Amino acid sequence: MKLKFAFTFLFLLTIKIFSQGIDMEIVDKLISEVKTNLIPDKRTAIFNVEYDKQSKTLKGETNLIHVKNILLQELNHHNIEFKDEVKILPSKKLGDKIYGIVNLSVSNIRTKPDHPEELATQALLGTPVKIFKKESGFYLVQTPDKYISWVDADGITPMNKNQFDEWIKSPKIIFTKEFGFAYTEPNINSQRVSDLVAGNILVLLNEENDFFKVKYPDERIAFVPKENCTEYTTWLENLKPTKESIVNTAKLFIGIPYLWGGTSVKGMDCSGFTKTVYFLNGIILQRDASQQANDGDLVDTKNGFENLQPGDLLFFGQHATDSTKEKITHVGIYLGNYEFIHEAGKVSINSFDKDAKNFNEYRLKHFIRAKRILTSINKNGITTLKTNKFYLGEME
């Protein structure tokens, strides 16, 4: 009798373990399918979710409640037993301060919340961000190009909705010179408050002689020479990005050294260069070259470069083969006459022309495609400072 009971117990236990294994396999597959189909780019979304089979608990965090709900529906559809402990970001620990404004001339934003970690990107003073959580003195934030990574707490000023709206609606100035300073008094011989770089945005308080009196997100007050900046609204209204303006802006940065993750005059990587050039023309590109390659209008280059126009983005990398996928690793800007400008070691001009002194054989061999941005403003993935929801204060 005891032997029969033991056999029955072991049989039922085996069935239970086997069933748990099947459940785990189904859950893993569902999570994987959700990530693949609904979150194609992990750089612009948070979905860190896993299933603990011992406690039958779904754990983790996401900023996409609709994606989480789809996963829950699928789990229920497959009769999977689970407890839902997936946290929705922004974290409740932040209170109502889930918005922020970049507070430094250039804020370094990293892949993980620690200073030695890889530089993922940068954001300029005055850039609006959405805050998801805080950890180890860093904030997990999303910038207007939807990129998500970690910024030092000193790099942004957290705000509630009222404070954020006030910043958005306030009159501002934009720094247009490549590099300069703000001062404690309307005098360039007074104490410096901070450095400033092209694209920095500050609240305008008033004017004193040849200076704008401005306010930083953290309430610091400073004076900026008028010759180095302009009123933001006026600048925005007068923006008419053209092939010529893109080329002229790009050439301002010739010689600027390469910096992985950089997006400012202090140092740039290849996509940080193209992003900065277009930003200073009021256009917001995605962060990385592989992302930028998905936007804009495709230019026909099957038979050569005759269809290219100045300002077009050129993408380089590895062509797809029978066994490998295409890989975009580099981006530059076409100048015309077979020349292009790009950031590789330093911002410089190279040519596709084999007879030119600045011919770049490596780039010619690895050219993939070209995209035209100026014909895609406010469509095909391209937004502007006038329409981007972050700059309008309408971030989701």
Task: List residues with catalytic annotation.
Answer: 270, 330, 342
CA distance 316 to 387: 29
49: which strand partners? 60
Q: What are phi and psi of 104, to 5 degrees?
A: -115, 160
Q: What are phi and psi of 203, to 5 degrees?
A: -70, 135
Q: Identify the CA nearest to 228 among candidates 257, 202, 250, 189.
A: 202
Please give the DSSP secondary-structure letter assigned to residue 244.
H
Q: Are 139 and 90 in contact (CB under 8 A)?
A: no
Residue 160's alpha-carbon distances to 34, 92, 134, 166, 283, in angstroms, are 32, 13, 15, 10, 27
Q: Identify the CA nearest to 82 among candidates 144, 141, 28, 7.
A: 28
Q: Are 262 and 119 in contact (CB under 8 A)?
A: yes
Q: Are 176 and 227 in contact (CB under 8 A)?
A: no
Burial of 97 (0-12, 13-18, 19+ CB in 10 A): middle
